[in-house]
């Protein structure tokens, strides 16, 4: 029985040491969890901020405009671009850059003020947020909505999985 008492004393010491280590780790976690939460919130905030901040490209400031996909919301666009899309939506039909400028209050008679808008419109077309028609105008809002809804169907049809003929 004396031998087992020594074993129990040794086990008690190991368990006491482990308990001390566990308590120390728990205390560290109690401090680390709020820090992790703050850092995570900060990173999330920086991601939102970074999506609307100009980036440097070739020594010039350029705005990062994401390609339009089904999981990308319009709200990720910088405010200027959101206003442009809203202006295009207000139009009753296809619009030209000059018409969008008028809707947004841009002095369309001054070429230097219209060209930046035209560049933004081209960027929105290039990234799939707007469609450019053969005559240069943008399609009416209903066509843009249909295009957004039907794009996956068109992709399936193009892949050869099924045949579809789409029209408006």
pLDDT at 139: 52
Q: How many residues does the chain have?
A: 168
Contact yes or no for 75/66 (Cβ under 8 A): no
**Cα–Cα separations (whole angstroms), residue 150 to 17, 29, 101, 145:** 65, 49, 29, 8
* CB burial of residue 118 (10 Å; 0-12, 13-18, 19+): middle
Q: Spell out the per-residue pLDDT of the chain, length 168, in tens.
A: 556 888 899 999 999 999 999 999 998 888 888 888 888 777 766 655 555 455 666 666 665 787 888 888 888 888 888 888 888 888 777 888 888 888 888 888 888 888 888 888 888 888 888 888 766 555 555 455 556 555 666 565 555 444 333 332
pLDDT at residue 12, rounded to an integer = 92
What is the predicted pLDDT for the residue at 48? 54
pLDDT given for residue 21 in this prediction: 92
Predicted local distance difference test score (pLDDT) of residue 14: 93
Tell me, what DSSP letter sits at residue 7?
H
């Amino acid at each position: 029985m004396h031998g087992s008492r020594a074993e129990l004393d040794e086990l008690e010491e190991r368990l006491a040491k482990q308990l001390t280590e566990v308590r120390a780790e728990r205390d560290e976690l109690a401090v680390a969890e709020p820090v992790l939460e703050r850092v995570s919130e900060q990173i999330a905030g920086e991601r939102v901020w970074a999506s609307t901040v100009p980036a440097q490209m070739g020594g010039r400031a350029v705005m990062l405009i994401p390609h339009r996909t089904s999981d990308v919301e319009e709200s990720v666009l910088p405010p200027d671009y959101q206003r442009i899309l809203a202006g295009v939506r207000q139009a009753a039909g296809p619009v030209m850059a000059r018409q969008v400028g008028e809707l947004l209050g841009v002095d369309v008679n001054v070429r230097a003020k219209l060209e930046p808008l035209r560049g933004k419109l081209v960027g929105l077309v290039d990234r799939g947020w707007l469609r450019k028609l053969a005559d240069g105008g943008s399609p009416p809002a209903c066509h843009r909505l249909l295009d957004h809804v039907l794009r996956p169907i068109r992709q399936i049809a193009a892949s050869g999985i099924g045949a579809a003929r789409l029209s408006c």
